[in-house]
Amino acid sequence: MRYRRRHRTALATAAALCVLPLGQGRPAGAAEAGSSSAYRPAASAKEVSGSASAAQGPLLRPGTYTDTIGPGGKKFYAVDLDARSDAYVSVVGAPAPGAAVAPEDGIHVALRKEDGRECGFGEAKFHDADSGRPLADYAVRRARPDSGGCGQAGRYHVVVERTGPTGDTYPTEIKYMTEPGLKEGTLAVTSGTGKWGPASSSGTGTGTATGTSPGRVAGGTGFNDAPAVANGAWKDDLLPGQTRFYRIPVSWGQRLSVVADVPKTFAPPGFHAPGGVRVALSNPARGHVGESVEDYRGMPKSVSLGTAPVAYENRLRGRSDAANAMRVAGWYYLQVGLHPKVGEVVSHPVPVTLRVTVDGTPRAAPAYDGDAVAAGFGVTADPEAVADDGSTRRDALRAVGYAGVSTGSALLCWLGGWWLAARQPVRRSPARFRVRSGGLMPRR
């Protein structure tokens, strides 16, 4: 009896070892097939708790932070700015994918002096009939002498607000970046400014999808795990209610054009998904560049978005000017989303083709008084360097680790099965032969 109980225990342990790899065979945070994944914050992000008053706001240093904010909420943080660098503080609001949201809900972020004077602000809101998806924009403090005191060194307050009074509490991600100033006597000019519109069909760039068929790409959940794409056609699969992120290198003097093609579906007559397909773009500091939203009625739909050339002097334009955010070279973030209502006519991922064109000859960067590329304002040499936290390399190591666990567990599973087989009592059948000195003879 004791042997049988020990046998069952060993068998259960071996079975557990065999099942374990099935649940851990993919990196943490990876979306399962057929599910919509939530926004994934930076692996290096620090947790912070914004205060209810400016005087108690926690001090932020350049980097990435996570917090939460409820409906109608208002939180304060602090930053110490010098008189030479431009400062960018962005906020991502990340409600659950496809969740019901109100048109007035959104995120407002501002940079203020201690006396309450506003030095920069940004705001992102949902549209009518919109659904839960990541929202992002930034507040910018330009270090210039004619900024009414906002260019001075000192402590500034970061104010993050929810613009809607209803809804669920959702996570926020705050990123604080500083762009070096220009060397003394340098003109703030890098290229001629251009008009807002599509780029030409012949582009320049690296990492292109070659051949006649589109390259495959799996979009990320947000800014931190967005894969790099460049010139060419790319195919991905999106679920209704899902927003995918991609990043595209755009140098000084270049402009970007993107077209997202959604195929026909078997939709009944009269089907209408307002805002069914959405394409949006953010700059390297996560500032809103522009977006294009189209209704979807089940027929093939192409949604396009084009930008002005990247130029340092674009920041001299008014904030409402469409080219203002095309102010720095670097990785631009493309977001493509499908409205949950599309799920009324499809129950599977929708194939979406992206046509990306980076147009124009790269120009020299302005004469920065510091390393702008290291600060995040420039195209890094390594196309797999997803973010300043090195999350791509960490994911690769994590995947290797999981592969090792799976392989080791499989080996243990085999050894456990072999051990159990060796310990299994042999069931003896009634003897059909008996032994005699002359050999075997049938038992009577």
Give the mean pLDDT of 57-74: 97
C-alpha 328/C-alpha 345 separation (Å) is: 41
pLDDT for residue 393: 37
**Residue 203 and residue 347 share a domain:** yes
What is the percent of the chain with per-residue pLDDT over 90, rounded to a whole number?
62
Report residue 200's pLDDT band, with 50, 70 and 90 as the boundaries. Answer: very low
Instruction: Read off the pLDDT of residues 232-276 as tens digits, 9 standing for 90 and up.
Output: 999 999 999 999 999 999 999 999 999 999 999 989 999 999 999
**Residue 339 and residue 367 share a domain:** yes
Give the mean pLDDT of 387-399: 37
The residue whose two tokens read 């079975």 is 15
Other Cβ atoms closer than 10 A to 50: 23
Q: CB-based contacts of 173: which residues, under 8 Å, 6+ apart?
A: 39, 41, 42, 45, 64, 65, 66, 91, 92, 94, 222, 223
239 assigned to some structural domain? yes
**Residue 218 and residue 174 share a domain:** no
**Residue 166 and residue 127 share a domain:** yes
CATH code where residue 101 lies: 2.60.120.380
**Residue 412 and residue 382 share a domain:** no
Q: Are 43 and 391 in contact (CB under 8 A)?
A: yes
C-alpha 290/C-alpha 109 separation (Å) is: 18
Mean pLDDT computed over every residue of the chain: 79
**Residue 67 and residue 11 share a domain:** no
- Tell me: pLDDT of 53 over 60: yes
**Listed residue (374, 383, 354, 378) closest to 365, CA to CA:** 378
Domain that holds residue 84: 44-179
**Residue 419 and residue 350 share a domain:** no
List Cα–Cα distances, 93 to 172, 294, 403, in angstroms: 5, 23, 34
pLDDT for residue 319: 81
Q: Under DSSP, is residue 149 helix (H, G, I), strand (E, B) or coil?
A: coil
Residue of 15 and 160 predicted with greater confidence: 160
377 assigned to some structural domain? yes
**Listed residue (412, 424, 367, 332) closest to 186, CA to CA:** 367
> In 94-251, which ranges are E strands?
106-113, 118-125, 135-141, 154-162, 170-179, 215-216, 232-238, 243-250
For 239-254, give one letter per residue: b (16+ CB within 10 A) or e: bbbbbbbbbbbbbbbb
**Residue 8 and residue 78 share a domain:** no
pLDDT for residue 87: 97
What is the percent of the chain with per-residue pLDDT over 70, rounded to a whole number?
71
Q: Which of 140, 157, 179 is the last residue in one of the domains?
A: 179
C-alpha 416/C-alpha 328 separation (Å) is: 59
Phi, psi dihedral angles at 420 (to 5 degrees): -65, -40
- Tell me: pLDDT of 439 over 70: no
144 assigned to some structural domain? yes
**Residue 426 and residue 370 share a domain:** no
pLDDT for residue 124: 95
Q: CB-based contacts of 269: which residues, under 8 Å, 6+ apart?
A: none
384 assigned to some structural domain? yes
pLDDT for residue 430: 40
240 assigned to some structural domain? yes
pLDDT for residue 205: 38
Phi, psi dihedral angles at 23 (to 5 degrees): -90, -10
- Tell me: pLDDT of 373 over 50: yes
**Residue 352 and residue 237 share a domain:** yes
Q: Are 175 and 46 in contact (CB under 8 A)?
A: no
Report residue 307's pLDDT band, with 50, 70 and 90 as the boundaries. Answer: very high
Strand partners, 123: 108
- How many domains does the chain contain in total? 3
394 assigned to some structural domain? no
pLDDT for residue 266: 87
Q: Are 91 and 138 in contact (CB under 8 A)?
A: yes
Print the SS3 string covering 320-348: CCCCCCCCCCEEEEEEEEECHHHHHCCCC
**Residue 36 and residue 107 share a domain:** no
Report residue 379's pLDDT band, with 50, 70 and 90 as the boundaries. Answer: confident
The residue whose two tokens read 């999350």 is 391
423 assigned to some structural domain? yes
Among 45-59, 278-292, 417-431, the least confident range: 417-431
Q: Which of 179, 213, 239 is the last residue in one of the domains?
A: 179
263 assigned to some structural domain? yes
pLDDT for residue 366: 93
- Tell me: pLDDT of 322 over 60: yes
**Residue 372 and residue 262 share a domain:** yes
